Chain A
Amino acid sequence: MNPQSCVNINKEWDIVGARQLGREMAKEIGFSTVDQARIATAISELARNIYLYAEQGKISYEIIYNDSRAGLCLIAEDEGPGISDISQVMRDGFTTSGGLGAGLPGVKRLMDEFEVYSEVGKGTTIKTVKWLR
């Protein structure tokens, strides 16, 4: 398996493709069924945000190591409108799209590490990691 991969998000079906690849990689690394579901769900939320707000972008996957522990690092990047108030989008239930507002705070809970970098008018990058237990 390639330790590094990337999926472009341009259309709705790419959301499915992105989470399927994530699940495959998670399975290969040895994540439990529950963590595979957590990772696939997190990717689904990140990919949907790209599709919904930026229309296009990409998700990169990388198998990383900390000492001898393996992890899956996901980076979701877009050149969309950016987020003006990050604390607002990290609040449960906040939505501008009519969704449940579970996306980003949900991803943070599903994964172990989570960082958002965003600049209005330039785009958003979200980096998140799940470590093998």
Chain B
Amino acid sequence: MRIPILKLNNYLLISIQTEIDDQTAIQFQEDLLDEIYKTEASGVVIDLTSVDIIDSFIAKVLGDVVTMSDLMGAKVVLTGIQPAVAMTLIDLGINMQNVPTALDLEQGLLKLHKELGV
């Protein structure tokens, strides 16, 4: 299973719509970095509106992909984290403090516009 990555101008948009298993998460990490490299995208929005569980493994993969993309020069914003998911992450002891987030896709794109100054 592959998570589709869409290109919009110099941004990449991803909406995770399926239950993510470990393999899909790792595959996504690789696919996204390849896509950033190929498209020279400067910003990425990963929308998690439909994701109803983030466990410690998926949290690590998401946190890592933000750092990895940053190393390559692309800013990532995570959007649409559900209230139940946010509460569960804090119970798990995962604060994701260094990860840029926004309420929804629209706010996420605005955040990228501001940060990248375009």
Interface of A toward B, CB cutoff 8 Å? 12-13, 15-16, 19-20, 23, 33-34, 36-38, 40-41, 44-45, 48, 92, 99-100, 102-103, 105-106, 109-110
- Max chain B C-beta neighbours (<10 A), residue from A37, A48, A110: A37
Which interface class (under 10, 10 to 19, 20 to 34, 35 or more) fits B? 20 to 34
Chain A residues, Cβ within 8 Å of B53: 19, 23, 37, 40-41, 44
Question: Per a CB cutoff under 8 Å, which of B52, B91, B94 touches A100?
Answer: B94
Chain B residues, Cβ within 8 Å of A36: 84
Chain B residues touching A, majority SS? helix
Chain B residues, Cβ within 8 Å of A100: 56, 59-60, 94
Chain A residues, Cβ within 8 Å of B84: 33-34, 36-38
Count A/B pairs, Cβ under 8 Å. Answer: 74
- A117 nearest CB across to chain B (Å): 22
A45:B93 contact, CB within 8 angstroms? no
B55:A45 contact, CB within 8 angstroms? yes
Is B21 interfacial (CB-CB < 8 Å)?
A: yes
B19:A92 contact, CB within 8 angstroms? no
- A33 nearest CB across to chain B (Å): 5
- B92 nearest CB across to chain A (Å): 4
Chain B residues, Cβ within 8 Å of A16: 19, 21
Q: What separation, in Å, do the CA atoms of A37 and B94 have in the docked complex? A: 15
Chain A residues, Cβ within 8 Å of B59: 100, 102
Interface residues of B in 21-59 (CB under 8 A from A): 21-23, 52-57, 59
Question: Per a CB cutoff under 8 Å, which of B19, B56, B87 touches A37?
Answer: B87
Question: Per a CB cutoff under 8 Å, which of B21, B52, B83, B93 touches A106?
Answer: B93
Closest to B22 in A: A12
Interface residues of B in 63-89 (CB under 8 A from A): 82-85, 87-88
- Max chain B C-beta neighbours (<10 A), residue from A48, A102, A103, A105: A102
- B83 nearest CB across to chain A (Å): 7
Closest to A16 in B: B21
